[in-house]
């Protein structure tokens, strides 16, 4: 973690820049502020890079690799495919994989880059809306945020979309202030790319409309540019809206848990304040929430504070309304609203600092507490197993595997020519007298990323959760016995790789049949993945 004295000195110098100088000190120059932002960007890069591949890839990340490596016709078709999410991100990731490869570190470095980019973007927006002190403090919060660090270490679009959202809102502010037309172009480009990176980034458009009116009457003089931008952001996407709207409005099962509005607020507040593991709950959440509320009511210009409130409230309320018909809420879908939360906290800190005397010292103490909270939670996220550990599960089975004839081997983490987009089918490779059963079968994609053999016999675990209209199960023990006997016929060894089993076999019938009819020879349990070895 570095020498404590060094970091204490660095934080002390940063406080002088962010919180202003005493009357006896020279006012920090623009160069000093730029140097501080550069330092914070490097800090953001470092805290994300040092533990980038500590957690293994989970299924969403492997899916991102699969979608990024499909044949070009499929990839281009995804731009107009109803219900398909993030085609632009997968195009970018495809290019990145071609340059950097498909190792864990290489894949995640792409997200890390956008996560670090969010720091200077947050600074320039905070400075533009308020002042340099607010900009520096929000840059500090963004750089050390356990929540944003987590998603900077995940192969998904949850750092790209916040970066584009920051750029879009900054472009809107510059355009309204009377800057040249290219800021309207930047607004349209950033918003469009965000929408094509994640479907719910379309909520940026109503946020921007409210921001335009929040900055009235200054915005009134820029109505032509605003109207042209709105037309550019809506008319080309009306056909897409016609396809996508029914998916968002119909009642259907989504795989997400239902949340009330208060539960959504609590989830976001906990995550944005303390990250994935929440060390320091509940007082840390109360502290961050109280500072954000203080900043909302007492920090900076009221129009800009209202703009931040809109940035937070609109996507949350829209998500809640959509989820009334089909549950869709997960905090990462609203990660692009997190900068507004950190901006409000920064406003609260600056407001306290400007009270002078005790306010300045209280601000220093509060910033120190936040840094400690962030530091501990960053360390815990790096040191605690959280994601499904198919890395260890694949290595465990690989240590047992003794093929009857030589297999095709590849280094762990390589994708074998990027053919991982192929659909799941049952394999009957005759080189082994063993069978690997995946329960749930979708886990095979993540397992294959780590498993050193290209070909091996495997099968999908039986799906037993089908129910009739009265709620009774359609598949019972007899049907499972028939299916399992056929599946395992002629095998001497059966492996069961079980993860998220309740989604596929909530009664555990498949494993119960194996326990009854085979002998369990060994087992191993990893984070969210259980492996069992059965012999006759």
Q: Are residues 339 and 488 in the same domain?
A: no
Give CA–CA dist 243/226, Å, rounded.
Answer: 26
> How many Cβ atoms are within 10 Å of 209's Cβ, its own excluded?
16
Give CA–CA dist 180/340, Å, rounded.
Answer: 25
**Residue 525 DSSP SS3:** strand
**Residue 312 DSSP SS3:** helix
Give CA–CA dist 246/143, Å, rounded.
Answer: 39
Q: Are residues 360 and 453 in the same domain?
A: no
Residue pointed to by tokens 């470095």:
109
> 116: which DSSP letter?
H
**223 exposed, middle or buried (CB, 10 Å; 0-12, 13-18, 19+)?**
exposed
CB 205 within 8 A of CB 196: no
> Which pLDDT score is estimated for 419?
36
**Is the residue at 3 inside a domain?**
no
The tokens describing 2, both together, are 């570095």
Residue 15 domain boundaries: 10-239+256-383
Q: Are residues 196 and 298 in the same domain?
A: yes
**Is the residue at 519 inside a domain?**
yes
Give CA–CA dist 69/91, Å, rounded.
Answer: 9
CB 364 within 8 A of CB 19: yes
Among residues 350, 383, 416, which one ends one of the domains? 383
> Which pLDDT score is estimated for 11?
52
Name the CA dihedral angle for 190, 191, 197, 201, rounded to a multiple of 10 degrees. 140
**Is the residue at 251 inside a domain?**
no
Closest-CA residue to 142 (of 163, 156, 157, 161): 163
> Which pLDDT score is estimated for 32?
85
Domain count, the chain: 2
**Is the residue at 404 inside a domain?**
yes
**Residue 458 DSSP SS3:** strand
Helices (H) and strands (E) in the chain, counts: 22, 5
Give CA–CA dist 58/107, Å, rounded.
Answer: 13
At what angle are helices 261-274 and 283-298 packed, to 10 degrees? 100
Among residues 320, 348, 383, which one ends one of the domains? 383
DSSP code string of 11-62: HHHHHHHHS---TTSPPPPHHHHHHHHHHHHHHHHHHHHTTTTTSPP-HHHH
Q: Are residues 353 and 449 in the same domain?
A: no
Q: Are residues 356 and 467 in the same domain?
A: no
Give CA–CA dist 94/104, Å, rounded.
Answer: 15
Geometric angle at alpha carbon 65, from 190 and 150, rounded to 5°: 65
**Is the residue at 246 inside a domain?**
no
Give CA–CA dist 121/130, Å, rounded.
Answer: 14
Among residues 344, 365, 383, which one ends one of the domains? 383
Closest-CA residue to 82 (of 248, 263, 293): 248
Q: Are residues 323 and 396 in the same domain?
A: no
**Is the residue at 5 inside a domain?**
no
Residue pointed to by tokens 């900076």:
300
Q: Based on C-alpha coordinates, what's the Rg of the chain? A: 26
Residue 430 contacts by C-beta under 8 Å, 6 or more apart in sequence? Answer: 457
The tokens describing 385, both together, are 């197993």
Q: Are residues 306 and 420 in the same domain?
A: no
> 461: which DSSP letter?
P
Give CA–CA dist 210/269, Å, rounded.
Answer: 23
Geometric angle at alpha carbon 334, from 331 and 336, rounded to 5°: 135
Geometric angle at alpha carbon 20, from 41 and 271, rounded to 5°: 45
Give CA–CA dist 9/11, Å, rounded.
Answer: 5
* b/e sequence 3-30, b meaning 16+ C-beta within 10 Å: eeeeeeeeeeebbebbbbeeeeeeebee
Q: Are residues 173 and 313 in the same domain?
A: yes
Closest-CA residue to 233 (of 202, 197, 198, 212): 202
**Is the residue at 211 inside a domain?**
yes
Q: Are residues 417 and 368 in the same domain?
A: no
Q: Which helix (H) or strand (E) holds 438?
A: strand 434-439
Roughly how many angstroms between the first and final C-alpha of the chain, as a whole number? 51
Beta pairing partners, 529: 526
Provide the phi-psi class of 58: left if phi over 0, else alpha when psi is between -120 and 50, else beta. beta
β-strand pairing of 458-460 with 434-439: parallel
Q: Are residues 374 and 400 in the same domain?
A: no
Give CA–CA dist 1/378, Å, rounded.
Answer: 11
Q: Are residues 491 and 457 in the same domain?
A: yes
pLDDT (tens digit, 0 to 9) for every residue of the chain, 536 residues total? 444 444 445 555 555 555 554 444 445 677 888 899 999 999 999 999 999 999 999 999 999 999 999 999 888 887 777 667 888 999 999 999 999 999 999 999 999 999 999 999 999 999 999 999 999 999 999 999 999 999 999 999 999 999 999 999 999 999 999 867 899 999 999 999 999 999 899 999 999 999 999 999 888 888 888 899 999 888 766 666 665 666 666 666 657 889 999 999 999 999 999 999 999 989 999 999 999 999 999 988 899 999 999 999 999 999 999 999 889 899 999 999 999 999 999 999 999 999 988 989 999 999 999 999 999 999 999 999 999 999 999 999 999 865 444 443 333 434 333 333 333 334 444 445 899 999 998 899 999 999 999 889 999 999 999 999 899 999 999 999 999 999 999 999 999 999 999 999 999 999 999 999 999 999 999 999 999 999 98
Q: Are residues 412 and 267 in the same domain?
A: no
> Which pLDDT score is estimated for 300?
82
**Is the residue at 247 inside a domain?**
no
Residue 451 contacts by C-beta under 8 Å, 6 or more apart in sequence? Answer: 394, 397, 398, 412
Geometric angle at alpha carbon 443, from 510 and 50, rounded to 5°: 140
pTM over 0.85: yes
Give the helix, strand, coil percentages of the chain, each rounded to 5.
65, 5, 30
> Which pLDDT score is estimated for 22?
42
């Amino acid at each position: 973690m570095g020498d404590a004295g060094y970091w204490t000195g660095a934080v002390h110098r940063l406080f002088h820049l962010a919180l202003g100088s005493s009357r006896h000190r020279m006012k920090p120059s623009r160069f000093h502020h730029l140097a501080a932002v550069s330092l914070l960007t490097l800090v953001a890069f470092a805290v994300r890079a040092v533990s980038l591949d500590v957690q293994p890839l989970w299924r969403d990340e492997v899916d991102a690799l699969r979608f990024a490596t499909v044949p070009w016709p499929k990839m281009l078709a995804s731009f107009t495919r109803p219900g398909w999410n993030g085609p632009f991100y997968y195009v970018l990731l495809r290019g990145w994989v071609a340059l950097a490869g498909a190792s864990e570190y290489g894949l995640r470095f792409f997200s890390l880059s956008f996560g670090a980019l969010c720091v200077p973007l947050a600074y320039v927006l905070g400075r533009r809306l308020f002042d340099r002190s607010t900009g520096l403090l929000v840059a500090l919060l963004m750089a050390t945020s356990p929540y944003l660090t987590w998603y900077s270490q995940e192969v998904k679009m949850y750092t790209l979309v916040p970066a584009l959202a920051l750029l879009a809102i900054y472009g809107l502010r510059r355009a309204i202030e009377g800057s040249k037309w290219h800021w309207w172009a930047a607004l349209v480009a950033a918003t469009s790319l965000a929408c094509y990176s994640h479907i719910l980034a379309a909520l940026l458009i109503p946020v921007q409309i409210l921001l335009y009116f929040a900055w009235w009457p200054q915005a009134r003089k820029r109505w032509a540019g605003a109207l042209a931008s709105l037309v550019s952001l809506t008319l080309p996407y009306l056909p897409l809206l016609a396809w996508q709207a029914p998916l968002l409005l119909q009642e259907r099962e989504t795989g997400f848990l239902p949340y009330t509005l208060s539960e959504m607020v609590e989830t976001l507040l906990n995550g944005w304040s303390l990250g994935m593991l929440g060390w320091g709950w509940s007082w840390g959440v109360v502290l961050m929430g109280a500072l954000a509320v203080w900043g909302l009511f007492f920090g900076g210009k009221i129009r800009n504070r209202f703009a931040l409130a809109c940035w937070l409230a609109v996507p949350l309320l829209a998500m809640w309304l959509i989820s009334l018909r089909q549950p869709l809420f997960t905090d990462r879908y609203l990660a692009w609203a997190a900068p507004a939360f950190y901006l409000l906290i920064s406003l609260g800190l600056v407001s306290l600092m400007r009270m002078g005397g005790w306010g300045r010292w209280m601000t220093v103490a509060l910033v120190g507490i936040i840094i400690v909270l962030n530091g501990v939670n960053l360390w815990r996220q790096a040191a605690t197993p959280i994601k499904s550990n198919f890395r260890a599960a694949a290595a465990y089975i690989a240590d047992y595997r003794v093929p009857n004839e030589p297999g095709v081997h590849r280094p762990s983490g390589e994708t074998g020519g990027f053919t991982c987009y192929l659909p799941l089918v049952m394999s009957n490779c005759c080189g082994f007298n063993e069978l690997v059963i995946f329960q749930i079968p979708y886990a095979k994609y993540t397992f294959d990323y780590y498993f050193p053999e290209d070909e091996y016999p495997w099968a999908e675990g039986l799906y037993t959760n089908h129910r009739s209209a009265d709620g009774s199960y359609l598949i019972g023990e007899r049907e499972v016995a028939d299916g399992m006997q056929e599946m395992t016929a002629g095998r001497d060894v059966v492996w069961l790789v079980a993860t998220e089993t309740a989604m596929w076999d909530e009664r555990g019938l498949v494993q119960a049949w194996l326990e009854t009819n085979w002998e369990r020879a060994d087992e191993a349990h990893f984070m969210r993945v259980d492996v069992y070895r059965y012999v006759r």
